[in-house]
Structure 1
Amino acid sequence: MKKVKRKISFLTISLSVLLVIVFSTILIASGAFLTPKYLEPWKKNYSAQFDDPRVNLASQGLLAASGHNMQPWIIRLDKENPNVFYLYADSKKLVQQVDPYARQTLISQGTFLEYVKIAGAEHGYDVGLDLFPEGEYDERNIKESMKLKPVAKVTLKKVEGIENVLYPYLFLMDTNRFEYENTTLTDQQIKQLNELSDKTGITIKIFQDHINVKNLGRFAIDGAKIESKIHRINIESGEIFRANEYKKNKYRYGFSVEGQGITGMKKHLMQGLLTLIPSMNNEKASADLFVKSTQIGVNHTPVYAMIMTKDNSRSNQVKAGMIYSRLVLTAHSIGFVMQPPSQVLEEYPEMKEQNNKIHREYALHGETIQMFVRMGKPTKEAPKSMRQDVREFIQ
């Protein structure tokens, strides 16, 4: 009897040791013990290390949303005028399968610029913007044109600092993919958001009636289903997926498991397993998870919003991005969050029918829908996503 007990005890200890080894291996593969340098720009004192006001403000601008978290920004400091820098779109960070005409990339220029303007006001700078000071792109050779022509000339002018009501919200995550509470906007809140519309013809439209919420939810789901089945897009997404802390610290842009709301110990278990067994992240599994998460989000969305421009010029794409940043921050200020289920607006051939359909139904005067978002009061706090060090953007 004693021998049996000793054998059971030995097996129990051996199993425990094996579990510890397996668990430790998974955590090490995840990089659980590394410092997440990719989160440093979210610290409120991060910008204080930069004496140059242009770099200081740009270090807060990089917290803005960007398409697929590519952060496609290049900053060139004017060597003669210490109050001027130029913003260029980074042609090396195009995601050409989902954004073949670089529309989302240009919107991302606007999100950055608006954050710089808001940070500037807080720190005592009037931020002047001159969009496309050397003319708009040559669309026949967009990549080369991006290298040669700046999106904006940014000029700083020292003024008396003004407390900006939106500034504190720069440090909150711009996108929340979780379920939302079943709470709609009040008439006053709708008025507040609509007032963000631009006088030049960039408008915000809010939808929270049952018919439109149901219809727009279908567009979000159909868009996700279409995109999830396209092999070349899945390959492109896989190339910018950072499976563990090592890769997140190396690249500091792109996708990660946090994008699916996976945090804490569960995050490290998932990252470790994906690193050790890459086949877990196969195309079908990723596609199914994407569609499922979209369906869950749609089922818990009380409000949708759109940003529309009267035409699809590059300048208006940038301006739409600026309005989007202001919409995100204003929504935060009233306790709402958002997420753009942007697939239905993308311009690759397989999405053409859905893209045309949503424009026929909602862009009644020939406008371009630049942004389509779900909105609501959050049920969970969104984890912060990767950000590069500002010095990586400066040339």
Structure 2
Amino acid sequence: MAIITWQNAVIAFAGILVIGIFALVIVDGTFLHKQYLEPWAEDYHEQFEDPRVQVLAHGVLSPNSHNLQSWRVVLEGEDSFLLYVDTDRLSPKADPPGRQATVSQGTFLEYVRIAAEELGYEAEIELFPEGEYGLEGSPENLDSKPVARVSLKEASGDAPEEVRESRETGGYISPLYPVMFLPDTYRVSYRETKLQQEDIEKLEALSTENVTIVVFQEAEDVEKLGDIALRAAEVEAGNSGVQEEGSELFRPNEWEKNKFRYGFTMEGQGLSPLKVHVLQGLLSLFPSMNSPEASRDSFLSQTKTAVENTPAYALIITEGNSRTVQVESGILYSRFLLTASDMGYAMQPLSQATEEYPEMAGMYKEIHEEYAEEGETVQMLVRIGVPEKEVPPTMRLDVMDIIEE
């Protein structure tokens, strides 16, 4: 009798376990097609006839603040378009002046430029064709003027010889083009491996007249910048408004990822696909697990791990803080990211100390006193190194969702 009872208990437990797993699979949407990853396919752009849409389909892959993808495009004429900030996707608590949203317009433009070149066009980019919008971050201000006008012209026949040869042989025009299809942010641990000095020199040489890249890997600077990043994260973790804003942008399951296609997910943290789906299922069944408090603790833990496993940092510093140099810093960041990725390095912005809400003022002042000259602005703080593991790509909007006729 005891044996039968034990067997029945095992069967009952197995049944409950199966039902539980099935429930997790259903609420997570594990079986759904991941529409939010479609733009990462190298042939994604080929479904569109308009060359402007084809290059824009590459632009949506660019790195951007809080993965909000705050781009809005208005097509004009037959060969040009205007780029605006999409004010429906902003983070006013963490980015009250809309500076990071403006930087993200620049990251987009560089991906568009590289894609245009690869597809046989020259992208003529005019920043702020109607003048800069103001420095305050209201939606009315950020949406008042276009960030850029981009015109596509067929590449001229007098292109450099190596470009012509590459087109004739079907090779890549730019070595950075295939790198655009790699994940842009690695939140995992990096190896202790230092960057090669020649790589540092090449990366810093990307600097422009108004925007400078500086790489730090001496122990003193790594420790100092890591400490700034961690203390700034603690300030952010203690800001209920910022935490609630981040919690609202978190997509806990496949249903939500396909619906929104922007914001935060569990990918990118080195978790196995199975663990991601199990955790997503649990979060879907028990939403309280995604409370601002839980989000705060997870954020601090991840930042601490990141800081403890970072061999180098980079700063992007501009002359002044005009809207134009903000866009230019985004352009340079994309170039920096793609060039470093082509070398085998990965990056993760840790830019809390550069944010401009009142509670962060002390950290903002400290990083500028330590690393910027008078009149300069630190636009980004980035960790860089060789990642311990690969990460999957993150959500991206369908290109047609950012376009207005």
Shorter-chain TM band: over 0.9
Secondary structure at 1:91's aligned position in 2? coil
Amino acid at match of 1:146: L
Partner of 2:229: 220
Determine the C-alpha separation between the residues in 1 that align with 2:220 and 2:375: 22
CA deviation string 1:347-383 (max 9, x = no partner): 0111100100000000024310111100001111122
Distance 1:147 1:363 in 2: 30
Q: 1:349 to 1:145 in 2, by over 3 A?
A: closer
Q: Does 1:73 align with 2:82?
A: no
Change (3 A) 1:293 1:390: same
Q: Which residue of 1 aligns with 2:61?
A: 63
Counterpart contact for 1:263–1:383, Cα < 8 Å: no
1:246 pairs with 2:244: no
Is 2:120 the partner of 1:110? no
Cα-to-partner distance string for 1:66-125 (whole Å, 9 max, x where unaligned): 1000000001100x3x11111001111110000000000000000000000111111111
Match of 2:356 among 347, 353, 360: 347
d(CA) in 1 for partners of 2:142, 2:297: 36
Deviation at 1:148, TM superposition (A): 3.2
The question of whether the paired residues in 2 share the 8 Å contact of 1:127 and 1:155 is answered with yes
For 1:93 and 1:282, locate their aligned partners in 2 and report how far apart those are by CA, in whole Å.
Answer: 21
Q: For residue 390 of structure 2, give the secondary structure of its aligned residue in structure 1.
A: coil
Alignment partners' CA distance in 1, 2:363 and 2:11: 59
Cross-structure match for 2:9: 11
Count of aligned positions: 390
Is 1:181 the counterpart of 2:191 in the alignment? yes
Deviations, residues 201-256 of structure 1 (Å, cap 9, x unaligned): 21100100000000000011001111011111111111111111001000000011
The within-5 A match list for 1:35-50 is 35-50=33-48
Matched ranges for 1:132-151 at <5 A: 132-139=128-135, 142-151=138-147
Greater mean deviation of Cα atoms: 364-373 or 138-147? 138-147
Contact 1:328 1:338 in 2 (8 A): yes
SS of equivalent residue, structure 1 residue 93: coil
Tell me, yes or no, if the aligned pair for 2:96 and 2:357 is still in contact at 8 Å: yes
- With 135-144 and 345-354 compared, the bigger mean Cα shift is at 135-144
Amino acid at match of 2:16: L
Name the Cα RMSD after superposition.
Answer: 1.2
1:168 to 163, 178, 184: 178
Contact kept in structure 2, 1:38 and 1:388, CA below 8 Å: yes
Within 1, Cα distance between the matches of 2:259 and 2:384? 32
Classify the secondary structure of the residue corresponding to 1:85: strand
Contact in 1 for aligned 2:319/2:377 (Cα 8 Å): yes
Residue 220 of structure 2 is aligned to residue 211 of structure 1: yes
Q: For 1:380, what is the secondary structure of its paired residue? A: coil
- SS in structure 2 of the partner of residue 304 of structure 1: strand
What CA distance in whole angstroms lies between the structure 1 residues aligned with 2:138 and 2:296?
30
Alpha carbons 1:66, 1:111 under 8 Å: kept: yes
Partner of 2:163: none
Answering whether residue 375 of structure 2 is matched by residue 377 of structure 1, we say no
Question: Partners of 1:100 and 1:226 in 2: how far apart?
Answer: 16
**Matches of 1:130 and 1:36 in 2, distance apart?**
35
TM-score (norm 1): 0.96
Matches within 5 A, 1:171-320: 171-198=181-208, 200-320=209-329
**TM-score, normalised with respect to structure 2:** 0.94
Q: What is the CA deviation profile of residues 266-308 of structure 1, one whole-angstrom value per residue up to 9, with x for unaligned ones?
A: 0011001011011112222221111111111111100100111
Amino acid at match of 1:40: E
Alignment of 1:12-27 (within 5 A): 12-27=10-25
SS in 2 for 1:58: helix
2:330 aligns to what?
A: 321
Residue 139 of structure 1 deviates from its aligned partner by 4.2
Is 2:13 aligned against 1:31?
Answer: no
Identical aligned residues as a percent: 45
Query: In the alignment, which residue of structure 2 is the partner of 1:361?
Result: 370
Following the alignment from structure 1 to structure 2, what is the Cα–Cα distance between the partners of residues 107 and 364?
21
Task: Quote how far apart the aligned CAs of 1:259 are.
Answer: 4.3
* Alpha-carbon distance change, 141 to 382 in structure 1, aligned in 2, over 3 angstroms: closer
1:118 maps to amino acid: I
| Matched position secondary structure for 1:104 | helix
Q: Please tell me whether the aligned partners of residues 176 and 339 of structure 2 are also in contact (alpha carbons under 8 angstroms).
A: yes
Distance in 2 between the 1:388 and 1:88 partners? 16
How many Å apart are 1:342 and its aligned residue? 1.0
Unaligned runs of 5+ in 1: none
User: In the aligned structure 2, how far is the partner of 1:332 from the partner of 1:223?
Assistant: 26
Select between 38-47 and 144-153 the one with higher mean Cα deviation. Answer: 144-153
DSSP 3-state at the match of 1:258 = coil
Q: Residue 85 in 1 paired to residue 94 in 2?
A: no
CA–CA separation in structure 2 for the residues paired with 1:226 and 1:346: 11
Cα distance in 2 for partners of 1:77, 1:335 equals: 36
**1:141: Cα distance to partner?**
7.5
* Shift, 1:140, TM fit: 5.8
Aligned to 2:154: 158
1:96 aligns to what? 92
Q: Which amino acid aligns with 1:108?
A: S
